[in-house]
Amino acid sequence: GGDRDPEILARLSTAYALAAQAQIDSGATGESIRSLSAAALETAQRAGELESRDLNAKLAIADALRLSGDKGEARTVLEEARAMSFSRTAEFFRIDSRLSAAEAGGGLENGLRSAKQAAELEPDGVPYLLLLARAERAAGDGADAHVALETILANHPDHPVATQLLAELEAVDAAV
């Protein structure tokens, strides 16, 4: 079953982590984020126990550790993943971007380089484009953030997060 498949467990962990991050990005706090983060970590660790050399399990563990606040261990695990062949995936760079921001005290502009690499590797990947738009906005580059959001909306015209972020950017532009 799926509870013994490291690939399925790593993907499930990533889903928990993305859900927790989405809540964090929307300004939420509380038990739901802690619960999702804990589920991400537990599921990722199970994947790693089943297959210690699985890249996706390593990435899921690093992301879950980041969400749990253990930035040092998250960086160690991410560097272990970097040493593996074929490690330079969009998911690797998404996690590196978020971890770099966390290590710098939360400023997402500190993860801009990795966010760009993630979006270059998966140019239609909504999570990577949203991350890129947020990082570019944090770095003060609203024009490039606008491009990333328009790319999402071209394929997903009703995407609620992209629509909201674009409205926020346009409100800032109108105020200037």
Low-confidence ranges of the chain (pLDDT < 70): 1-2
pLDDT tens figures, 68-117? 999 999 999 999 998 987 778 999 999 999 999 999 988 889 999 999 99
pLDDT at 1: 65
pLDDT at 2: 63
> Token pair for residue 102?
């966390």
Instruction: Report the pLDDT value the prediction gives residue 172, as an integer from 0 to 100.
Output: 84
* Per-residue pLDDT, 144: 94
7: buried, middle or exposed (CB in 10 Å: 19+, 13-18, 0-12)? Answer: middle
DSSP 122: S
Burial 56-89 (b: 16+ CB within 10 A, else e): bbbbbbbbbbbbbeeeeebbebbebbeeeeebeb
Q: Which pLDDT score is estimated for 119?
A: 96
**pTM: predicted TM-score of the whole model, two decimal places:** 0.88
Give the per-residue pLDDT at 173: 80
Instruction: Return the closest-CA partner of residue 95 out of 40, 151, 35, 156.
Output: 40
